[in-house]
């Protein structure tokens, strides 16, 4: 028996249905804000992620699936989707538009230790908003993230936010951080000892208990912002407060990727990270090697964490609302043609009406087998033509709930079925 690779999942009903409905709700919500879908390849040149996320980031250094293709090109399965989106807008010349608003959803791949809610193939959705460097764009992004969890899925959430500064003030802050952590060098975990030299800000992101404790008293980024960054952050906080969006200023929040500047934020429920994002004003410049310079802000959320949480909250019962099901059954070769005709006519009608209905076309040699299957499928109305019906140009319609059945003339079938659908 060949089994699925470690850290991956098969999604089968009902989970597959829940995932589909959750993602549909999110994506149609994003379109209300004027975002358009974008799709990019699941593999890219390795260089894209090295240049964007940073060579020393965990994502690139430890977790990326890298491979050579048959021509020896160095490729990687995408560990995140922001850099590919930026690559795509540059390559497709969208870059000259004043504003670009895009959303995506798709798989990402990270070679991590599999645990609850963390898979090697995961699904992310997110938005990227290019063109505006003012706090109002950060606000819109946070508002959208907030409403996805709060309004659509009714979850109690907290928004943690911080500002990590810009290229003027961040280097000075980095030095402060380095000066602080160097005193604790021997106590830091081995990863953080490496981070101390490569990018000491990442120590603030470490999950190790000792590193976390040491981080508590480290210099706060909010106290080392330049005037412009300070103003940006206080304006954003002001707008968020005025709209009653519950924010928590978390000075230890830095996010794991190199490309963020100024605003970073995370959406949390009971300390579970549901989504994260921020501003990345230098990424377009970075990926286009200085050719373009466009501010941007965005966020990404994980589908698996959200659906796992919704399962615990019993929210999914609402998503799995039963459809109205009709089963049309042929019990003989002679009935096939009539049954097929009824089936295609009904399908035609319900496609036009867009009703929440499921129609099953089946064929069995005897009635009891057909009924057994119908019960399994939880059919509401069971419609069949047997030998007797065929002789009289009739069909039988059975209400599976009440057990009542009636015979009607074949020519009246369509209107009768439509009437039944209408009444349910």
Q: By CB under 5 A, is residue 9 in contact with Zn ion?
A: no
| Nearer residue to Zn ion within complex by CB, 50 or 262 | 262
Dist. CA 129–CA 81, nearest whole Å: 14
How many chain residues interact with Zn ion (CB under 5 A)?
Answer: 11
In the complex, least distance from residue 142 CB atom to Zn ion, rounded to whole angstroms: 20
Please, which residues bridge with residue 394 across strands?
A: 409
Q: By CB under 5 A, is residue 169 in contact with Zn ion?
A: yes
In the complex, least distance from residue 177 CB atom to Zn ion, rounded to whole angstroms: 13
Dist. CA 265–CA 255, nearest whole Å: 8
DSSP, collapsed to helix, strand or coil, labels residue 160 as strand
DSSP, collapsed to helix, strand or coil, labels residue 197 as helix
Contact between residue 124 and residue 300 where contact means Cβ atoms under 8 Å apart: yes
| Nearer residue to Zn ion within complex by CB, 169 or 264 | 169
| Nearer residue to Zn ion within complex by CB, 147 or 208 | 208
Q: By CB under 5 A, is residue 165 in contact with Zn ion?
A: yes
Q: By CB under 5 A, is residue 406 in contact with Zn ion?
A: no
Q: Is 244 exposed, middle or buried (0-12, 13-18, 19+ CB in 10 A)?
A: exposed
Q: By CB under 5 A, is residue 329 in contact with Zn ion?
A: no
Neighbours of 323 (CB within 10 A): 13
| Nearer residue to Zn ion within complex by CB, 176 or 363 | 176
Q: By CB under 5 A, is residue 168 in contact with Zn ion?
A: yes
Out of 81, 155, 229, 296, the only residue in the binding site for Zn ion (CB under 5 A) is 229
Sign of the CA dihedral running 182, 186, 188, 189: positive
DSSP, collapsed to helix, strand or coil, labels residue 97 as coil
* Site map (CB under 5 A) of Zn ion, residues 195-224, x = contact: -----------x-x--x-------------
Contact between residue 183 and residue 176 where contact means Cβ atoms under 8 Å apart: no
In the complex, least distance from residue 264 CB atom to Zn ion, rounded to whole angstroms: 14
| Nearer residue to Zn ion within complex by CB, 165 or 200 | 165
Out of 61, 189, 367, 377, the only residue in the binding site for Zn ion (CB under 5 A) is 189
Residue with tokens 């390559």: 91
- Interface with Zn ion (CB under 5 A): 165-166, 168-169, 189, 192, 206, 208, 211, 226, 229
């Amino acid at each position: 028996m060949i089994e699925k690779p470690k850290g991956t999942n098969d999604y089968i009903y009902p989970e597959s249905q829940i995932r589909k409905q959750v993602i549909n709700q999110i994506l149609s919500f994003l379109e209300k804000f004027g975002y358009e879908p974008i799709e990019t390849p699941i593999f890219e040149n390795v260089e894209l992620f090295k240049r964007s996320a940073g060579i020393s980031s965990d994502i690139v250094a430890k977790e990326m699936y890298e491979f050579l293709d048959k021509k020896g090109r160095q490729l990687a399965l995408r560990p995140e989707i922001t850099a590919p989106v930026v690559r795509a807008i540059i390559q497709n010349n969208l870059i000259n538009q004043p504003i670009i608003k895009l959303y995506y959803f798709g798989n990402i791949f990270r070679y991590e230790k599999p645990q609850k809610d963390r898979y090697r193939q995961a699904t992310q959705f997110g938005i990227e908003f290019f063109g505006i460097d003012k706090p109002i764009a950060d606000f819109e992004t946070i508002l959208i993230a907030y409403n996805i969890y709060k309004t659509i899925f009714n979850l109690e959430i907290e928004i943690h936010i911080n500002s990590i500064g810009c290229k003027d003030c961040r280097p000075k802050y980095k030095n402060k951080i380095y000066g602080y952590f160097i005193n604790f060098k021997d106590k830091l975990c081995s990863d953080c000892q490496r981070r101390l030299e490569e990018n000491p800000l990442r120590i603030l992101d470490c999950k190790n208990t000792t590193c976390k404790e040491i981080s508590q008293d480290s210099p706060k980024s909010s106290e080392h912002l330049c005037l412009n960054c300070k103003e940006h952050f206080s304006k954003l906080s002001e707008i968020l407060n005025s709209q009653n969006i519950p924010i928590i200023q978390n000075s230890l929040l830095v996010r794991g990727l190199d490309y963020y500047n100024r605003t970073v934020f995370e959406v949390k429920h009971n300390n579970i990270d549901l989504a994260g994002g921020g501003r990345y004003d230098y990424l377009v410049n970075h990926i286009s090697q200085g050719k373009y310079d466009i501010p941007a802000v965005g966020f990404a959320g994980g589908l698996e964490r959200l659906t796992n949480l919704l399962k615990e909250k019993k929210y999914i019962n609402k998503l799995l609302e039963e459809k109205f099901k009709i089963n049309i059954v042929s019990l003989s070769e002679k009935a096939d043609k009539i049954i097929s005709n009824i089936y295609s006519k009904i399908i035609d009608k319900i496609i036009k009406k867009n009703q929440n209905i499921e129609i099953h076309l089946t064929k069995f040699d005897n009635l009891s087998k057909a009924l057994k299957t119908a019960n399994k499928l939880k059919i509401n109305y069971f419609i069949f033509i047997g030998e007797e019906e065929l002789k009289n140009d009739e069909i039988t319609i059975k209400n599976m709930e009440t057990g009542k059945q009636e015979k009607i003339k074949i020519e009246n079938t369509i209107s009768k079925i439509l009437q039944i659908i209408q009444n349910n």
